[in-house]
Amino acid sequence: MFESLQARLEEAIKRLRGQARITEDNIADALAEVRRALLDADVHVEVVRRFIEDVKAKAIGTEVKGKVLPEQLIVKIIYDELVSIMGTTKSELIHAPAPPTVIMVVGLQGSGKTTFAAKLAALLRKKGQQPLLVAADVYRPAAIEQLKTLASSINVPVFSMDGADPVNIAEESLHYAKKFARTHVIVDTAGRLAIDDTMMREVESIRERIKPQEVLFVCDAMIGQDAVTTARTFDERVGVTGVVLSKLDGDARGGAALSIRLIVGKPIKFVSTGEKLEALETFHPDRIASRILGMGDIVSFVERAQQEFDEAKAAELEEKIRKREFTFEDFLEQLRMLRKMGSIRELLGMLPGMDKALRNVEIDDRAFTKIEAMILSMTPQERRNPRIINGSRRLRIARGSGTTIQDVNRLLKQFEEMQKLMRAVTTGKVKLRNLPAMMGTPWKRS
Amino acid sequence: MGFFDSLKAKVQAVAQKVGDTLSFDRLKEGLAKTRSAVFGRLASLVRGRTLDDALLAELEEALLLADVGVRTTDRILEGLRQRWRRSNTDDPDAVLDAIKAEIAERLLAVGERSSQKGELPKPYVVMIVGVNGVGKTTTVGKLAYNFQREGKRVIIGAADTFRAAANEQLATWAARAGVEIVQQQRGADPAAVAYDTLNAAIARGMDVCLIDTAGRLHTKGGLMQELEKISRVLKKLVPDAPHDVWLVLDATTGQNAIVQAREFAKVAPLSGLIVTKLDGTAKGGVVLAIAEEFQLPVRYIGVGERIDDLHPFDAIAFVEALFAEQPSVPQSVE
């Protein structure tokens, strides 16, 4: 159900083919598809309605010209509109005129507040600051232990008080911070439902006492229509200064980001992905726009590729393929380079259109580990000249790599086919896009 | 009597026959904190109207706002249209009745097809799975309490060996519920913990064995494989274990819950859902989509932080809550 918007639009947009201009009439089907895509991405109903109106107003009258396909044109209009709503500037933390800068972390239960608080502390520490974490969640069993465990792994002190109430803890933590010259105080509050009046009053009191520069609302990227109600209430009661989008390493489309931005009007300051404490990123409006539309995150992909890809080596490889000297050693090198960039599925998913192509394909990253093990069990001579690998060599390779003879046979066959294919590509006999179908890759169709 | 009322009467009759103390007020009670009226804004909006395009659009919006999702909303509205054609009444609440009946029937159908089969095996092994932050550990604590109150002897396995302080959290819940617990140090092999727990359950003659697992995003292949391993290891001791695998969903979750259900079902034999945090403003409508698409019934709902705040799911009450007034958030003291 989560196919890319572009793919969905292709069908809806047929009526636009051959038309010189976009009109209210010929764009209706396309907009209906856009609406579905946005709703599937959990964008709030009201936001979707406003957004569609805006896009319609912008699109109608636009000329369809040149080589641009109508669906590309519409996706571009939508994408630009999305990016402009999301805000184009990266927002930084607001700092106090004199330290410590006080940051309060608020949100629903399970949104990832404690993990984010620790990540922010880790980030500040890396920048040479002296943060203090404050454990003000006295309700959830073991919440304080969780914060302490995380904090000790990044060498940041935790302020906590047994049996005290959260307002007192927060207040006392400021004295402590001043006394020990901490630059930042990060107060991790308990998760609470926006309609829980008692709990909301508590967080209001904390705010009044400690007067934070930042109140960061942590929002789970998987949240549905309720995002708006929740964010709005937190803002009304405690004055949110920024939003943190958490768990974006899942495959949720994060439509809430758009809803919150548009209805509550608060900037998204951080994106928290993964459980490793260094996984805190600044927010890129264009990337989340692509994600909401299911267009793939091409920018992130290119960035990662650039980091890992060595141009000189690429040229060398091309030369080898042309000269038909591509060996298992080169293959191993390619494989490792690819894997350095992340999980294969994740990488492919970032490419536009691949989302759809991969929907029913299972890519098992472990298959690549197996291949690597088999190649490493070959002698240098075997790697350069696989033709010498006879029965007893195969058995040795299988044993050495913890695989079976069948696995080794399959790899050798695939490699041979790959070499053939490469020759065909370099001589122009095969179009590149037929590659995945022809390669006996370890991708299973399910 | 409208569609919905007759359905409700039917369910009540069945419940009474089996001597179930199922109360239709139980869920409402839990939800009463937040929802002022069962027949709220939508009810008064729909009253006395006929099913025309304008009303369909309003109903569509209500369903979408409850996170039911586009596809399931379309199906429900299509079912409603057909039901409406068949009906012949001048009851002013007929439309509301028809849409509630439409949804409740769908939920009940899934529930019946996969309902519990008579006596529970001993030990009855249940695995709790879900993404991070949905409330798995809390749910395990509450489940343990529920079973314990039914007079069953319960043991909990702390197979979340990853999250900092998860052990301490579960131990607190186990103490509150008054049940036994098996745990190892942080970073231990979760499958080993699960195995030890079931071993202890058999040795000590326990009735119920609950396995809490670490939260994991369904996109993390390695962690998902780990679930497969846990369920495989349990089979070594009890061949048909785990008897139930429940996916815990946060009521605030949107359409991604569908993907979660699909991915978790690939690595563990999912048999039901538990929806948590239904005491907030979120309505958890995405369970409708999941129930239909994967034939997964909702087993329990969580409506608060107290140990007795986990209730068996009641489709009728859930549907009534779905159409209850969109609660406005209190600005000050009630």
Residue B245 β-bridge partners: B127
Is A250 in Cβ contact with B256 (below 8 Å)? yes
Give the residue from B92, B100, B101, B4 showing the smallest Cα distance to B50.
Answer: B92
CATH class held by domain A101-293: alpha beta
C-alpha dihedral, B116 to B117 to B122 to B124, nearest 10°: -30
Task: Select from B65, B71, B218 the Cβ nearest to the Cβ of A225.
Answer: B65
Is A222 in Cβ contact with B253 (below 8 Å)? yes
CATH superfamily entry for domain A302-445: Signal recognition particle, SRP54 subunit, M-domain (1.10.260.30)
| Contact B116/A at CB under 8 A | no
User: Nearest 5 degrees, angle CA A199-CA B332-CA A173?
Assistant: 40
User: Which residues in chain A are closer than 8 Å to B217, comparing Cβ atoms?
Assistant: 247, 249-250
Average per-residue pLDDT for chain B: 83
Which of the four CATH numbers 2.40.50.110, 1.10.10.10, 1.10.287.610, 1.20.120.140 does domain A3-86 have?
1.20.120.140
Residue A281 β-bridge partners: A271
Residues 245-304 in B contacting A (C-alpha not used; CB under 8 Å): 250-259, 277, 279-283, 286
Average pLDDT over residues A242-267: 86
Question: So what's the pLDDT on residue A281?
Answer: 77
Helix, strand or coil for residue B93?
Answer: coil
Nearest CA in chain A to B176: A141
**Mutation to test the A interface, candidates B33, B131, B217, most A Cβ within 10 Å:** B217
pLDDT tens digit string along A349-408? 555 445 445 545 555 667 778 888 999 999 999 998 888 999 999 999 999 999 999 999
**Mutation to test the B interface, candidates A33, A114, A193, A339, most B Cβ within 10 Å:** A193
Shortest CA gap A72–chain B (Å): 24
Burial class (CB in 10 A: 0-12, 13-18, 19+), A25: exposed
pLDDT at A159 over 80: yes
- pLDDT tier, A28 (very low <50, low <70, confident <90, very high otherwise): confident
Nearest CA in chain A to B64: A45
Question: So what's the pLDDT on residue B39?
Answer: 34
pLDDT at B86 over 50: yes
pLDDT tens digit string along B225-242? 899 999 999 999 999 989
Average per-residue pLDDT for chain A: 80
Determine the Cα–Cα distance for residues A213 and A96; give it in Å rounded to an integer: 6
- pLDDT tier, B329 (very low <50, low <70, confident <90, very high otherwise): very low
Determine the Cα–Cα distance for residues A188 and A207; give it in Å rounded to an integer: 12
Shortest CA gap A45–chain B (Å): 7
Question: So what's the pLDDT on residue A397?
Answer: 93
User: Which residues in chain B are closer than 8 Å to A247, comparing Cβ atoms?
Assistant: 131-133, 217
Nearest CA in chain A to B217: A250
Average pLDDT over residues B86-113: 82
Between B174 and A341, where is the model more confident? B174
User: Which residues in chain A are closer than 8 Å to B65, comparing Cβ atoms?
Assistant: 45, 225
Average pLDDT over residues A77-103: 82
pLDDT at A427 over 80: no
Per-residue DSSP letter, B165: T
| Contact A204/B at CB under 8 A | no
pLDDT at A426 over 70: no
pLDDT tens digit string along B143-164? 999 999 999 999 999 999 888 8
Average pLDDT over residues B171-190: 92
Question: So what's the pLDDT on residue A442?
Answer: 39
User: Nearest 5 degrees, angle CA A350-CA A302-CA A431?
Assistant: 75
- pLDDT tier, A249 (very low <50, low <70, confident <90, very high otherwise): confident
3-state helix, strand, coil in chain B (%, to 5): 50, 15, 40
Question: So what's the pLDDT on residue A219?
Answer: 94
Radius of gyration in angstroms for the set of CA atoms belonging to chain A, rounded to a whole number: 27
Give the residue from B281, B323, B81, B178 showing the smallest Cα distance to A225.
Answer: B281
Between A218 and A17, where is the model more confident? A218
Question: So what's the pLDDT on residue A446?
Answer: 32
| Contact A359/B at CB under 8 A | no
pLDDT at A171 over 60: yes
Average pLDDT over residues A208-230: 93
- pLDDT tier, A289 (very low <50, low <70, confident <90, very high otherwise): confident
Residue A133 β-bridge partners: A158, A186
Q: Give the ipTM of the model, two decimals please.
A: 0.82
**Mutation to test the A interface, candidates B228, B255, B258, B292, most A Cβ within 10 Å:** B255
Shortest CA gap B95–chain A (Å): 22
Is A365 in Cβ contact with B164 (below 8 Å)? no
Question: So what's the pLDDT on residue A85?
Answer: 82
Q: Residue ranges of the domains in chain A?
A: 3-86, 101-293, 302-445
Question: So what's the pLDDT on residue B281?
Answer: 79
Task: Select from B34, B64, B256 the Cβ nearest to the Cβ of A222.
Answer: B256
Give the residue from B185, B326, B317, B300 showing the smallest Cα distance to B247.
Answer: B300
Burial class (CB in 10 A: 0-12, 13-18, 19+), B67: buried
- pLDDT tier, A83 (very low <50, low <70, confident <90, very high otherwise): confident
| Contact A39/B at CB under 8 A | yes
| Contact B218/A at CB under 8 A | yes
- pLDDT tier, B15 (very low <50, low <70, confident <90, very high otherwise): low
Evaluate the CA torsion angle A420, A424, A427, A433 in order and state its sign.
negative
Buried b (16+ CB within 10 A) or exposed e, A92-130: ebeebeebbbbbbbbbbbbbbbbbbbbbbbbbbbeeebb
Is A36 in Cβ contact with B70 (below 8 Å)? yes
Determine the Cα–Cα distance for residues B129 and B263; give it in Å rounded to an integer: 11
pLDDT at A143 over 60: yes
Task: Select from A141, A275, A364 the Cβ nearest to the Cβ of B172.
Answer: A141
| Contact A220/B at CB under 8 A | yes
Question: So what's the pLDDT on residue A266?
Answer: 87
User: Which residues in chain A are closer than 8 Å to B333, comparing Cβ atoms?
Assistant: 197
- Percentage above 70 pLDDT, chain A: 74
- pLDDT tier, A299 (very low <50, low <70, confident <90, very high otherwise): very low
User: Which residues in chain A are closer than 8 Å to B34, comparing Cβ atoms?
Assistant: 195
Nearest CA in chain B to A42: B254
Q: What are phi and psi of B103, to 5 degrees?
A: -75, -45
Determine the Cα–Cα distance for residues B165 and A143; give it in Å rounded to an integer: 7
pLDDT tens digit string along A304-348? 554 555 556 666 766 766 666 778 888 888 777 766 655 555 555
- The mean-pLDDT minimum among A141-155, A284-298, B270-284 falls in A284-298
Question: So what's the pLDDT on residue A436?
Answer: 41
Residues 142-171 in B contacting A (C-alpha not used; CB under 8 Å): 162-169
User: Which residues in chain A are closer than 8 Å to B228, comparing Cβ atoms?
Assistant: none
One-letter identity of residue B116: Q
pLDDT tens digit string along A202-212? 999 999 999 99
Shortest CA gap B63–chain A (Å): 10
- pLDDT tier, A114 (very low <50, low <70, confident <90, very high otherwise): very high
pLDDT at B327 over 50: no
Longest dimension (CA), chain A: 78
B124 within 8 A of B206, measured Cβ to Cβ: no
Nearest CA in chain B to A141: B169
Longest dimension (CA), chain B: 66
Is B66 in Cβ contact with A223 (below 8 Å)? no
- pLDDT tier, B40 (very low <50, low <70, confident <90, very high otherwise): very low
Determine the Cα–Cα distance for residues B96 and B92; give it in Å rounded to an integer: 9
Is B65 in Cβ contact with A195 (below 8 Å)? no
Is A226 in Cβ contact with B282 (below 8 Å)? yes
pLDDT at B20 over 80: no
Is B253 in Cβ contact with A220 (below 8 Å)? yes
Between B62 and B114, where is the model more confident? B62
What does DSSP say about strands A184-189 and A101-107: parallel, antiparallel, or unpaired?
parallel
Nearest CA in chain A to B130: A110
